[in-house]
Structure 1
């Protein structure tokens, strides 16, 4: 991958999956600028052009790799705060201390029952804030949190950061 990116003359890599972004940035040591998609969104926010059709109480789930290994904790919050109609609430365990939802590292394929318990626990924590919408920036977390919300019998939405931005296009 490293050689292919360099051969193509790439200047930047933008990842949508935190673990892949981490692997390219830290493990492959690619001499390019490597960012997660939410960092790119944060750079482009502003100007008041984002608005939800109806106000919603939103909580952000910090994916383990994104928060703990890549240190991306403020950027997602800046994105959400820039959307008119978002009332952002914070979970008691968040940022670098966020509870794992069980979505990382293929753990779900080996221990599905344990992962469902983790997903339910994290969904319960997030919904305990009174939020109607859970937003995450990791495909694995989205899958797990949707399972957790469903297992709790909640009607809360679980959205990717890209989905809430799409909904907020003005």
Structure 2
């Protein structure tokens, strides 16, 4: 009553008795391994030289914790420069310039390592940009209505 669990399988590269197998007969040199160039006898692996096998001193990279609390990597908040440039050139110059200035302050705060201030400046730059676009559109619409009424093009 022998089960498959009771039977021992031979190790890889050995015959059933634990002895190493003979090399196949088609190996050049009659089946015997060749010696390394310059003599030296048998082909043996180099001696163990520590983890990685490179020899010498084994070094480890220093641990650098990620920036930010809780183990997450903080992402730089956007500065909304494109939004504010559009607001400055197309809609409302004052609001767009203020947004550009506050957006640059967001970048400066981030580079100084103040994440909270950078996030606050980023939110303010977004508000200035959106406010500039909305204010500029309202001002342009108001100007068109005033000019239309003045010159009699639009009847209100």
> Does the TM-score normalized on the shorter chain lie above 0.5?
no
Structure of larger gyration radius: 2
TM range (shorter): under 0.3
Counting strand residues as a fraction of each chain, which structure ranks higher? 1
Structure-2-length-normalised TM-score: 0.21
TM-score (norm 1): 0.20
